[in-house]
Structure formats: C-alpha cells, structure tokens
Amino acid sequence: MSRLSTTLLVFIVVARALCGQTPEVIAIKCGRFFDGKNLALAENVVVLIEGNRIKDIGTAIAIPQQAKVIDLSRTTVLPGLVDAHTHTFLHGINYDDAVLKKSHQYRAIWAGVAARKILMAGFTSIRDIETEGAGYGDVAVRDAIDAGLIVGPRMQCATRALSITGGYSPYGYAPHVEIPKGVQIADGVDGVRKAVREQLANGADIIKIYIDHRRRNPHGSDPDRLTAAPMFSFDEVKAIVDEASKVGAKVAAHVYTSSAAQTAIKAGLASLEHGIYLDDETFRMMAEHGVYWVPTLMAYMQFMSDPTLSPARKRLMTGTTERHRETFKRALSLPVKIAFGSDLDGRHETAGEELAWMVRYGMPPVEALRSATSVAAELMGWHDRVGTLEPGKLADVIAVPGNPAEDISLVTRVTFVVKDGVVYKHDPGR
Ligand SMILES: [Zn+2]
C-alpha cells in the first residue's frame, strides 16, 4: 500500500470514529434459529450485525471484542416478518364514517400509531395495500418512517387502489350527492392508464385493483356467496399492468372468483388477494405464471365476532369462512405460492394470529413461517434485502419465546425486534 493510500485509510478510520460513524456491531446468540427458508431450525447460531446489515451467521464465528452481545439463547430467532396485505389506515370503525367523517390528517395519525404496533408485533416489512379513502397518506407514513420521524416497518404503498364506476364503497347515497369513494374510480383503457400514472407520480410502489367486487345487482345476488361481480375488462387490466411495469411496479388484485382471477393472471398480475372461491385450475395457472396467492384468512374471521351481525349476514360469513378453509386446504396440495397477509381492520398488533389460522387449516408451521418471511419478501421483490437471515441482507431480526415450529401461536408473543440494525424491542425477561 502506498504512503498516500495508507494516510488516506487512517484518515477515513479516524474521521469515521470522530463522526461517530463506526458501525455498531451486535452479536445475537440464538437458541433456535430459522433463516426464513430452511425447514429445519438450527441451534446455537450466532448472528453478527454490523450497522444495518447482517455480517455473518454461524455456530463457530468469532465475536469481535467491540460487539454488543445479546443473549437470546432461550428464544427462537427469525427474520423480521413480512405482511403482504395490510392496511394501516383501517381502524375498525364503520367504513362510511372512516371515509366521510375522519379527515385524512386524523387517519394518517391513526396509521402512524398502527405502524408502530405492526413493527412491535415483529413485522419489519409490509405492503400497505390501499388507504381506503385516505388518499396518499400511506406515502407520508412510509416517508416519515424512512426519515426517522416515526417508528414503523419498511413499507410498499398501494395508495388509493383502483375500481370502476359503481364498484366501491360507500354505496347507497342519492344520485345527486357526490361523495368520495374508498378507492380511485377509473374506467376504460385511457382512464386506467391515467390513474396508474397519477398514483405512481404521487408515490405508489405498487398498484392495487378490484377485479371482482360488490356491485348493485338489479336481479339480486346469491345470499350464500359474497358478491363478486366482474369489474375491469381484460384490456383495462392489461393497460394497468403495462403502465405499472414501465417503472417496475407490480399489480395486486382483490379477487374472489376463478373467472376474474384468470383474466388477471393472463394480464400479468403479481398477486391475487383473498381468492375465496378459487378452483384448482386457477391455482395451477397461478403457479405457471408465478402469481402469488395472499389468502388473508383472518380478515373474514374478524367479522364473525361482530355483535351487530344480522342472522343472514352471520350465515353468509359462516359459509364464507368455511369455503375459504376448504380452498386453502386444497391449495396446499397444489404448487401455488402462498404469501402471508393479515388484512386486519384495526387490531394491527394481532397480525401474527394469521399464522395460527394457516396452521390450523393444514399448513406445516415452518411453511407458514416461510410464507411470512421469504415468500412474502419474494412477492414484494425485496428478497435481495429482507425475508431471510443471510450475510449481506438488511438486519431485520426478531425473536419469539420457545419453539414456534411446535407451537405457532408463540409468534404472537414477539420479545425482540431489530429493524435496519436498530433494536426497537427487547424484553430480556422472556
Ligand atoms: Zn385488504
């Protein structure tokens, strides 16, 4: 090394030390260890973090002298969880009241509170899959988290989502009363292209559309099935995907039926959300086209505990959740990739319960954990940085007591959260 480069190196080291920029080194001693992919849990692994990255992982790695050692030998260490379908702007109040009576500013404060709860529950990355009438508020929450103003997970934002005229809540107001909708309404190929361009320009990372949904049906609808009338045409969906793909944005679709799902798959969507009535042929098509399924089982359960549910509605929701269970069980024997999504309306701190539903319905516990880590990260296109614990990845690490491979409900009791190398939660007593 020349004298000049040696001097330069010393200068850089001294300057970094003086500026406090020497990256912090943390060594986590894990009891059990799940890397996000491997179905077998490892034991007595050490995870070495330097700054915001994972530097090394192994059972025999040297722990540097300056490292802060965190002993998690009584816990299982996992990658930060990834929720591919959540709404920080939904807070369990009547939908019309949320859209029509709460200001966007008030709802953004709510979302900031939810973001903290989501992180503390162990979810270090989320797709916030539309603000439900609160405009571009999710972009503000995402940017405030990234700027360190508030605490929350890394976010991909869908902003306003897209539906057609007549296709979204609030419903039932007089024709002369113009009320804002919970999504952006767009019709026709030109209309949807313009809407996608607007959303992307205003900060959207992904585009969310409604490919089938509730619409007024002059001939009445099946009382035993959730209404899922077709929405966008194939050409409209194709235009949406085309416009989004120009800047690498993926498209997610709310869907219940196989016919609408197949339209979406052929048009090139990345993920189908809910999919209560999907058949085997559709799941096979999804696997062939690399389309992920985000089933969101718990979202439909939450309505069952609503004390104001009418008997007819209760019967409908009982049938729906039963059908969802049957579809989920069937999909487990097919090659479709299943990504975790909670889709909660409020109670964001309970998102981990979705894993328990997945396991109750037949998914092996470690497969469920993969769904909420590496698989969901792949869907987000973030598998190069999160979703697994490997050297070089971002340091998003959590821990739960005991062994979640034996008792998945332990994932609802997260004791330790690191995001981007920063410790946000550490309950050393557990
Ligand atoms: Zn949703």
pLDDT attached to residue 240: 98
pLDDT attached to residue 20: 53
Range from 30-34, 152-156, 188-192, 314-318 carrying the lowest mean pLDDT: 314-318
Residue 31 Cα to ligand 1 midpoint, Å, equals 36
Residue 343 Cα to ligand 1 midpoint, Å, equals 5
Q: Tokens 């048009």 map to which residue?
A: 267
The radius of gyration of the chain from alpha carbons, rounded to an integer in Å, stands at 23
Residue 287 Cα to ligand 1 midpoint, Å, equals 22
Asked whether residue 10 carries a pLDDT value surpassing 60, the answer given is no
Residue 208 Cα to ligand 1 midpoint, Å, equals 10
pLDDT attached to residue 14: 47
Nearest to 422 by CA among 22, 142, 63, 23: 23
Q: Tokens 């059908």 map to which residue?
A: 323
Residue 129 Cα to ligand 1 midpoint, Å, equals 6
pLDDT attached to residue 176: 96
Percent residues over pLDDT 90 in the chain: 85
* CA 148 to chain centroid: 21
Residue 346 Cα to ligand 1 midpoint, Å, equals 11
Residue 16 Cα to ligand 1 midpoint, Å, equals 45
pLDDT attached to residue 17: 46
Residue 161 Cα to ligand 1 midpoint, Å, equals 10
Domains of the chain plus CATH, in order, are: 19-79+389-426 (2.30.40.10), 81-351 (3.20.20.140)
Q: How confident is the model at residue 8 (pLDDT cuts 50, 70, 90)?
A: very low
pLDDT attached to residue 227: 80
> Which DSSP string do the residues of 136-186 spell out, in sequence order?
THHHHHHHHHHTTSS---EEEE-TT-EE-TT-SSS----TT-----SSEE-
Asked whether residue 220 carries a pLDDT value surpassing 80, the answer given is no
Strands (E), 290-405: 292-294, 397-401
Mean pLDDT of the region 320-348: 96
Asked whether residue 385 carries a pLDDT value surpassing 50, the answer given is yes
Residue 87 Cα to ligand 1 midpoint, Å, equals 6
pLDDT attached to residue 122: 98
Residue 296 Cα to ligand 1 midpoint, Å, equals 8
For 133-176, the pLDDT digits (tens) are: 999 999 999 999 999 999 999 999 999 999 999 999 999 999 99
Asked whether residue 301 carries a pLDDT value surpassing 90, the answer given is no
Asked whether residue 340 carries a pLDDT value surpassing 90, the answer given is yes
Residue 182 Cα to ligand 1 midpoint, Å, equals 12
Residue 77 Cα to ligand 1 midpoint, Å, equals 29
Residue 165 Cα to ligand 1 midpoint, Å, equals 19
For 312-327, the pLDDT digits (tens) are: 888 989 999 999 999 9
Residue 86 Cα to ligand 1 midpoint, Å, equals 6
Give the CA distances from residue 304 to residues 222, 313, 315, 318, in Å, rounded to whole numbers and listed in that order.
19, 9, 10, 7
Residue 342 Cα to ligand 1 midpoint, Å, equals 8
Residue 117 Cα to ligand 1 midpoint, Å, equals 18
Residue 20 Cα to ligand 1 midpoint, Å, equals 43
Asked whether residue 394 carries a pLDDT value surpassing 50, the answer given is yes
Asked whether residue 12 carries a pLDDT value surpassing 60, the answer given is no
pLDDT attached to residue 161: 98
Asked whether residue 75 carries a pLDDT value surpassing 70, the answer given is yes
CA–CA gap between residue 261 and residue 230 (Å, rounded): 10
> Residue 66 phi/psi, 5° resolution?
-80, 0
Residue 422 Cα to ligand 1 midpoint, Å, equals 29
Asked whether residue 6 carries a pLDDT value surpassing 80, the answer given is no
Residue type, 402: G
Please, what is the average pLDDT of the chain?
A: 93
Mean pLDDT of the region 80-106: 96
pLDDT attached to residue 173: 94
Asked whether residue 2 carries a pLDDT value surpassing 80, the answer given is no
Which tops the pLDDT comparison, 302 or 338?
A: 338
Residue 369 Cα to ligand 1 midpoint, Å, equals 21
Mean pLDDT of the region 409-417: 97
Residue 415 Cα to ligand 1 midpoint, Å, equals 27
Which tops the pLDDT comparison, 12 or 75?
A: 75
Residue 168 Cα to ligand 1 midpoint, Å, equals 13
Residue 428 Cα to ligand 1 midpoint, Å, equals 35
Asked whether residue 16 carries a pLDDT value surpassing 80, the answer given is no
Residue 401 Cα to ligand 1 midpoint, Å, equals 30
